[in-house]
Copies of this chain bind each other. A is one copy, B any other.
Amino acid sequence: MSFTVIGRSTLAFTLCPSVTSFAAIVGKMEGEGPYGKCFDRVEQDAYFGQKTWEAAESSMFKEAVTTAIEKGKFRTGDISFLASGDLLNQCTATGYAARKLAIPYLGLYGACSTMAESLLVASLLISGGAKRGVAATSSHFCSSERQFRFPLEYGSQRPPTSQWTVTGSGAVVLEDKGKGPFITHATIGKVIDAGITDANNMGAAMAPAFCDTLTRHLTALKRKPSDYDLIVSGDLGHLGKKVASDLLKQEYHVNIDEVYTDCGCMIFDNTKQDVHSGGSGCGCSASMLAGYILPEMKKGKLTRVLFIATGALMSPTMSCQGESIPSVAHAIEFNVQSH
């Protein structure tokens, strides 16, 4: 037994995986945001030196993983596994990077929730008996826009509810021993569909999944919001964050406002950057986690953090068929102490 299951799907780890090192690589616009100085590297070239946006994303992802490994003073040969995914069809950003890394690879798909899912799967491996592994994800504005919406060249208008896919990648090295921060608990999310059909309003579509996972996590562990220094959602954006906050009060009688923020609201300054409802993409929560949250925990400025990455599981095909947007959110609880 490497964990205890509490409630239906909340895991309390017996051996808590320790975060050894981490890295975040982002694009120019993310570098110009309020957390620009936090990231390991800000690349000015949207192509990351490659010929296509898909290759650019893959290159950025590979750099995040290798930087995290190097910061831990390891070589890729020291890593037992890579648990990762991205937004591209067939998860090619990570799959193509993985062939160059030659690390045993588990491909994951949870849309923008993938950073929490990758940490969860990596934690199962570390708590179960593996020594060292990497959890990582990426997204790229240009590869996402043309895949999910329209070619950039069309210059499409974006509605105010839309979010801006973050060009960024975050990677975290986990080990079976270390000084932390530790992953102490996790909750596997259920797929929730509130009936939203507007693919330009993903914050509203994902908020109910966030609320479900958060409240199940709190109930299972008998915690209240004030037990955390920070509860951070993946990327609900400004509108989705408001929906989540209201929904929690009205439906669940839980108020998290004192400790609540959202990676999609943090990464850009929407008074200066034209991103409408904020950032999104699985690189958003990944780069905020590896660039800001985990460093703050290492410095002792944050003690206990609940990281809940949220994902909208629709595809353009399903949206064209008139389907609504199912969403999922997985929770990862970090603590500077292992218990």
The digit string for A178-196, where 1 denotes a CB below 8 A from any CB of B, is: 0000000001111111000
**Contact of A90 with B109 in the complex, beta carbons under 8 Å:** yes
Complex interface: chain B residues within 8 A of A54 (CB): 317-318, 321
In the complex, per-residue mask of A95-132: 1 if CB is within 8 Å of any chain B CB, else 0: 11011011111111111000001001100110111110
The residue from B8, B108, B313, B321 contacting A109, defined by CB atoms under 8 A apart: B108
Count of this chain's copies in the oligomeric assembly: 2
List which A157-172 residues lie within 8 A (CB) of chain B.
Answer: none
For the complex, is A2 an interface residue (Cβ under 8 Å from B)? yes
A116 to B: closest C-beta gap in Å: 11
Q: Which residues of B contact A192 (CB under 8 A)?
A: 99
A258–chain B nearest beta-carbon distance, Å = 28
User: Which of A81-89, A249-257, A296-304 forms contacts with chain B?
Assistant: A81-89
Q: Are B191 and A102 in contact (CB under 8 A)?
A: yes
Indicate if the CB atoms of B104 and A190 lie closer than 8 Å. Answer: yes
Which chain A residues have a beta carbon within 8 Å of chain B's beta carbons? Answer: 1-5, 8-9, 11, 15, 51-52, 54-55, 80-81, 85, 87-92, 95-96, 98-99, 101-111, 117, 120-121, 124-125, 127-131, 147, 187-193, 313-318, 321, 323, 326, 328
